[in-house]
């Protein structure tokens, strides 16, 4: 029994250490509850934090004119820690929206944390006036290809893909 108890304490400490904190004084309080609490709280604590841009901020324009509605450039590749600043140029209202159905479950929490003032799940506010901008950090967003669009102009083809390396 003594050996089994020690094993439970070790796993609780290991789970806590993943999140940078947790129970490290469990010498006497070895129980399954301790391990369960650490496992339940660690992922939530990590997902809730906005991760600031540490690299390059790329620029994407939101345009609507006699050639149509579009993001310029529509397809863009960023590195870990980069961000994208979307700037309203003409033809609004525009927004920046990810279809939640296309974003993997293990990417959603961090992407959501990195999108301020959401008006719907993974949707930015609407921008009407030239010069307004919206910046999304892709720091801590897992590598992958993420399609996005402008909700009002999705039917007119205003969409693109963000690739995070």
Q: What residue ranges bind Cu ion (CB under 5 A)?
A: 94, 150, 153, 158
Of residues 12 and 136, the one with the C-beta less far from Cu ion: 136
Minimum distance of Cu ion from residue 98's CB (angstroms):
15
Q: Using CB atoms, what's the residue nearest to Cu ion?
A: 150
The C-alpha angle with vertex 73 and arms to 90 and 159, in degrees rounded to 5, equals 75
Minimum distance of Cu ion from residue 154's CB (angstroms):
8
The C-alpha angle with vertex 53 and arms to 17 and 136, in degrees rounded to 5, equals 110
* Selection from 26, 33, 29, 51 nearest residue 114 by Cα: 51
Of residues 76 and 158, the one with the C-beta less far from Cu ion: 158
* Cα–Cα distance for residue pair 9/107, rounded to 1 Å: 30
Minimum distance of Cu ion from residue 158's CB (angstroms):
5
> If DSSP states are collapsed to H, E and C, what string results for 24-91?
CCCCCCCCHHHHHHHHHHHHHHHHCCCCCCCCCEEEEEEEEECCEEEEECCEEEECCCCEEEEEECCC
Minimum distance of Cu ion from residue 129's CB (angstroms):
13
């Amino acid at each position: 029994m003594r050996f089994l108890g020690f094993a439970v304490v070790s796993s609780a400490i290991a789970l806590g250490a993943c999140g940078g904190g947790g129970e490290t004084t469990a010498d006497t309080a070895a129980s399954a509850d301790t391990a369960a609490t650490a496992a339940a709280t660690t992922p939530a604590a990590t997902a809730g934090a906005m991760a600031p841009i540490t690299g390059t901020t790329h620029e994407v324009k939101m345009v609507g004119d006699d050639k149509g509605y579009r993001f310029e450039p529509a397809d863009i590749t960023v590195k870990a820690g980069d961000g994208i600043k979307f700037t309203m140029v003409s033809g609004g209202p525009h927004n920046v929206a990810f279809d939640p159905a296309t974003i993997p479950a293990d990417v959603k929490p961090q992407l959501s944390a990195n999108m301020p003032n959401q008006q719907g799940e993974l949707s930015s506010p609407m921008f009407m006036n030239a010069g307004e901008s919206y910046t999304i950090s892709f720091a801590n967003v897992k590598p992958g290809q993420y399609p996005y669009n402008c909700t009002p102009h999705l039917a007119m083809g205003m969409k693109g893909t963000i690739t995070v390396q």
